[in-house]
Structure 1
Amino acid sequence: MSDEERQDSLADQAAAWVPPWERPTARQNPAPTPTGAAPPEDRTPAGAAPPEDRTPAGAAPPEDRTPAEAPPEPDRIPAGAVPAAPERTPVGAVPGGPGTAAGERGTAGVPRRQSAGRRRAAVVPEPAPELDDAELRGALEAILLVVDEPVSELLLAQVLEQRPERIGPVLDDIAAGYTAAGHGFELRRAAGGWRLYTRPEYAAHVERFVLDGQAARLTQAALETLAVIAYKQPVTRGRVSAIRGVNCDGVLRTLVSRGLVEECGAEPDSGAFLYRTTTMFLEKLGLDSVADLPPLAPFLPDDVEELADATR
């Protein structure tokens, strides 16, 4: 075959070539093939790349050709729309259990934080109602009958759940009423609190009833030691012995055992124990504080300065 005939043959083949996307498929009715003729072959020029399924630029691929592993398109919320609030797990509910949305996050057994409305709705205890004067007076009298030591106004107010400023005037009124009625007892303030006491004019009768057959009186040495501690407190044992001029170890142990004197630390320089009077001491003497002790000047002798010079 000459060169011209070969060129004409290649030109005819190129002109008769049909792209694959335009070729009829097997579903379509194929063109009848003459009996005995070989089916047409898809002839591709030698060295040419196999035809690809080309989609025109800008055209969306058909729906059935979307890759199976492609992520789904996220839901789009229109502009200005408020997203729906996520469902909350009830308090004490287990995620995935009844009453919990599927896939909701949470920790099993851990209750979720209560809302602000629930916190505000917490029960607040209401204050106790205020007692009238007659009821408050009766309650105070009942408490004062059972106390074994003076009780303060603040403690009485806390027990009765009343304002502290109401307690003092009512107690003063009760004390004035007992005195005016001439009762054998009185309400008196002592040792920083209030307590019922027998009246001094009936002391002989009470003493005979309480101390009948008992020797409860303090000795002269104990009274002197107690007086030194009361006016010089806090004071060491050596200082008390120096003032009295005798050893007072045994007497001091007696006063401690009676509850009239107690230890209150140690002296910084010598390390000796310091002693002071107790609340029972104030209660027994009917005093509110140590400042109410009578002054010593009227009980001192006239020649006290001469006695002091003689002992030097």
Structure 2
Amino acid sequence: MSIATMNTPTAALTVRDPWALVPSLGNLDAYITAVNRLPLLTQEEETSLARKWRSQQDLEAAGKLVLSHLRLVVSVSRQYLGYGLPHGDLIQEGNVGLMKAVKRFDPDQGVRLVSYALHWIKAEIHEYILKNWRMVKVATTKAQRKLFFNLRSMKQSLKEDAAEADLHRSTLTDREIDAVAGELKVKREEVIEMETRLSGGDVALEPTMDDGEESYAPIAYLADESREPTRVIEAHRRDVLATDGIAQALDTLDERSRRIVEERWLKVNDNGSGGMTLHELAAEYGVSAERIRQIEVAAMKKMRKALAEYA
């Protein structure tokens, strides 16, 4: 089956070997195109596959869960491209996190795999960045690597040639910078930048404890979570439920129940206060306040059911 035939809802996940449809990460563009064409699972399909994996250790079911979420890893990994690491490596680490999430996922907890997997995907990518942070910040090009490996020994040689009074200097003089740049055939600005990097301490990406309170660290803002696709989708879904969903749920109520709900929960006066109280509504309808409360409880229960069906 070719990638072009993967537009049907279950085509890609019902072939004998669906992994054959995903190219190697060596061809990154083809890989991303392929995983974006893999169909998403419905909640019922996801729950069924997850239960097969948990109860029967069905590897085929686990594979389908992983395949349907590969596009999520691609999306999350894009948020970390500014750290100088290959996109393919970030995706590969994220895929490891996705597989760990599938292994531990419990479909009976009422959470979709996409939400559960985000933690594991980001955790693996963060770990990869932490392991490579120092290397990335020190040397990223061939010229910088050459400068990195030679600058330390050249500084030592220059110090040995310097006067005894200068032996405790940690920085290079202008003459020494020119000498290093001439010897290694690089710009003096590159020598200054590399020396600054080498003399600087590592930055702690993980948060530390300070005076009993957790302090902020770069790991907290490696990615803007508000821009994550799942967060955007969730925010849009909440907005829809708060408008169209509420309106549709109100339509399921009789006139009296609807007015009670609107007065008790939806009306806000100019002074910031709500609508009518239980006693005020009771007086208007000629019943007890307890009866109004019972009508309100029944109406809210009916609305919750309508909202669940709408969602």
Scaled by the length of structure 2, what TM-score is found?
A: 0.20
Structure with the higher fraction of residues in strand conformation: 1
Q: Could you say which structure has the greater relative contact order, defined with CA pairs below 8 angstroms and 6 or more residues apart? A: 2
Higher-Rg structure is 1
Return the TM-score normalized by structure 1: 0.20
